[in-house]
Structure 1
Amino acid sequence: MHLRVVCPAELTERVVTLLRGNTGVADVVLLRGAAVDPAGDLVLADVAREATSTVVDRLTELGVPARGVVALDQTDTVLSKAVDRAVDAAPGEPTDAVVWQELRERAGAENELSVTFLVLMAIACVIGMIGVVTNQPVLVVGAMAVGPDFGPLAALAYGLVRRSRSMFLGGLRATVLGYGAGVAGALVAALLLRWWGLIDVHDLVKPHSLTDFVYRPGALGAVVAFLAGVAGAVSLSTSRTGALVGVLISVTTIPAAGVVGAAIAFGVGDDAASAARQLAVNVGMILVGAVAALLVQRGGQVFDQRRLRRRYA
């Protein structure tokens, strides 16, 4: 990670001493008076990913973010013997390291209750509902891929693990209102489609050999949701975001919310209750899996840091 620090002159020596004293930091550069707004000195460094969270925590303790800037950028290629030594000295493996500040920013970005988020949730639930009533698993999978619901769940998990009240409450609000928008969108769409003669109540209550799993709670579905939560947390925290697509299409939260809306529109209480239970189980197990993954990662980092301190004691 490339670290850029803008700090007032009175903090510069402490910042430089902190960076030079960390074995996971290399290539420290100091440019005095280079910063104009906020005024101060500019400090640059390359930091092993495994050491980044610790370094940023120490900078925060010094009060740098409150009076200046701490910025991180992912670097794909660095040719430096000093960086190689820093990576070797840092605890753990780069691919497994969690930069908690980076994860907070990612989860926080997904926590924003925007019009775009609510519209995507509504559209995804409508697609999922249509997939169920027409017994088309392709549409169900497409709905799960469109739905942006994992972001708020990740924020919830982060808030629990890091004891961040703001992240937890933000994630809870986005989760509740997001699924609420999805249910409302599916309800309105079901009424319109019935009015246009495209679907009726029979399409919902008849057996769906390929899509019944969406709104019929089962033990295997709960297991899949738990594993998806683990995979989602790991992919977000270690920058392996390519795995998120698989996470999104492996659980049935979005189509279940869509069925809840359609069942309410058609007055089918049993199906509405069944789909709501499926939604609650999936959301709960995703959250449990994500929290478990983050706790294990945090524990692994603490162990690696203690082992490093013993090595250099």
Structure 2
Amino acid sequence: MLHLRAICPPGITERAVALLREHAGATHLVLFRGAAVEPAGDVIEADVAREAADEILAALCGLGVDRDGGLTLEQVDTSLSDAADRAEEAAPGEAADAVVWEELVGRTGEESRLNTTFLAFLTIACLLAAVGVITDSPVTIVGAMVVGPEFGPLAAVAVGLVRRRFDLVRRALLALGAGFPLAILVTAGGTWLGNYTGLFDASVISGDHDVDFVYEVGPWSLVVALLAGAAGMLSMTSAKSAALVGVFISVTTVPAAGYIGVAAILGEWDKVARSAGQLAVNLAGIVLAAALVLLLRRNRSAPDIRERPLSRG
């Protein structure tokens, strides 16, 4: 279940209440007249079945609630109610299969923003990958995969392409286009410092190592990226976030970026090129698979979200 709160101008409150009262997928309807201060109006609260959320949001937006008031959705972790059970049974489909497009756009829009936190996580992840490469430690490489925040912008690109939200695509590409070069540059600086002080030399990446999979690009790199992108988008659209951890440790985006910084300083230009190829294949594969999943799950009755500006919060 999702908890819906709507701030309604008094002139449309009755229609909004009637809409929610009549919809089989809504329950626990509450009305607080005059409770909203800014924007002024009435506050309506209800619990809605996830599979009915898009239809209800579309209807409320059709009344102008989003323009003159406001709509918020929150996940309900536990609901002990026969009325809630009946609402979920009456709503068509299964909750796990429902895509709430407004929620998805908002989530990916937030996770694709270029900010200090995103840059810090990506840089730390690449530095961890560099340590894993230098010490030949697959465990450290896996840690770098988990820390990396790059799936958010990649998911945002897929959502933006499918929903024609090119403002979302631009935001995500800016984050990726600025984040990866900066992280690689910082990693290269750290590698230069370690090499200059004698902590290691070029021999650490010569010969065979357990972490050579990072730059060994091939058909399986694309297969893994496609599967990971599909699993990641399924996880985001079904609110099963636990599966995202498996996605993070399946793809070699961050390790490949970290390897680029290490190999460039140590003069292994062939490995630089191969790592760059690995990075490109993984990025493209994830976006392609995520977009295909969204196309397959697209609900044509979803509210039109193409013109709604992204939050700056």
Q: TM-score, normalised by structure 1?
A: 0.91
> How far does residue 155 in structure 1 lie from its aligned partner after superposition?
0.8
Give the 3-state SS of the residue equivalent to 1:127 in structure 2.
Answer: helix
Any gaps of 5 or more consecutive residues in structure 1?
A: 305-313
Alpha-carbon distance in 1 for matches of 2:199, 2:81: 64
SS in 1 for 2:242: helix
Q: Deviations over 1:152-193 (max 9, x none)?
A: 111111111111111111111111112112211211111011
The answer on whether the counterparts of 2:29 and 2:47 sit within 8 Å (CA) in structure 1 is yes
Q: What is the distance in 2 between the residues matched to 1:30 and 1:146?
A: 43
Residue 303 of structure 1: how far off its partner (Å): 9.4
* Match of residue 103 from structure 1: 104
- Give 1:243 shift: 1.2
More deviation, 19-28/112-121: 19-28
Per the TM alignment, residue 142 of structure 1 is displaced from its structure 2 partner at its CA by: 0.9
1-structure distance, mates of 2:229, 2:69: 36
Deviations 1:252-298 (A, max 9, x none): 11010011112222332211111000000011111111112222222
Which residue does the alignment assign to 2:152? 151
Which runs of structure 2 are paired with 1:101-250 in the superposition (5 Å)?
A: 101-208=102-209, 210-250=210-250
8 Å contact from structure 1 (residues 147, 248) kept in 2:
yes
Please say if residues 55 and 301 of structure 2, whose CA atoms lie closer than 8 Å, have aligned partners that are also in contact.
Answer: no
- Confirm whether residue 263 of structure 1 aligns to residue 259 of structure 2: no
Change in 2 beyond 3 A, CA 1:234/1:5: same
1:200 CA displacement? 1.5
Structure 2 counterpart SS, 1:35: strand
Retained in 2: the 8 A contact 1:132–1:211?
A: yes
Q: Distance in 1 between matches of 2:172 and 2:262?
A: 26
User: 2: distance between equivalents of 1:211 and 1:60?
Assistant: 51
Q: Distance in 2 between matches of 1:138 and 1:33?
A: 57
Q: CA deviation at 1:129?
A: 1.8
Letter in 1 for 2:178: L
Tell me the distance in 2 between the aligned counterparts of 1:231 and 1:264: 33
1:53 touches 1:100 (CA, 8 Å); kept in 2?
Answer: yes
Q: Per-residue displacement from partner, 1:54-85 (whole Å, max 9, x unpaired)?
A: 21122223221221121112112223333222
Counterpart of 2:306 in structure 1 is: none
> Which residue does the alignment assign to 2:82?
81
> Which residue is equivalent to 1:91?
92
Q: Secondary structure at the match of 2:114?
A: coil
Instruction: Compute the displacement of 1:231 (Å).
Output: 1.0
What is the aligned-residue RMSD (CA, Å)?
1.7
SS of structure 1 residue aligned to 2:216: coil
2:279 alignment counterpart? 279
Letter in 1 for 2:225: A
Is the counterpart of residue 66 in structure 1 residue 72 in structure 2?
Answer: no
Q: Structure 1 stretch 257-266 or stretch 152-161: which is displaced more?
A: 257-266
Instruction: Give the TM-score taking structure 2 as reference length.
Output: 0.91
- Identity fraction in percent: 48
Provide the rounded CA distance (Å) in 2 between the counterparts of 1:188 and 1:112: 25
Bigger mean CA deviation after superposition, 129-138 or 282-291: 129-138
Could you tell me how far apart the structure 2 residues matched to 1:302 and 1:86 are?
22
8 Å CA contact 2:146–2:249 kept in 1: the answer is yes
CA distance in 2, matches of 1:80, 1:303: 28
Secondary structure of the corresponding residue to residue 241 of structure 1: coil
- Which is helix-richer, 1 or 2? 1
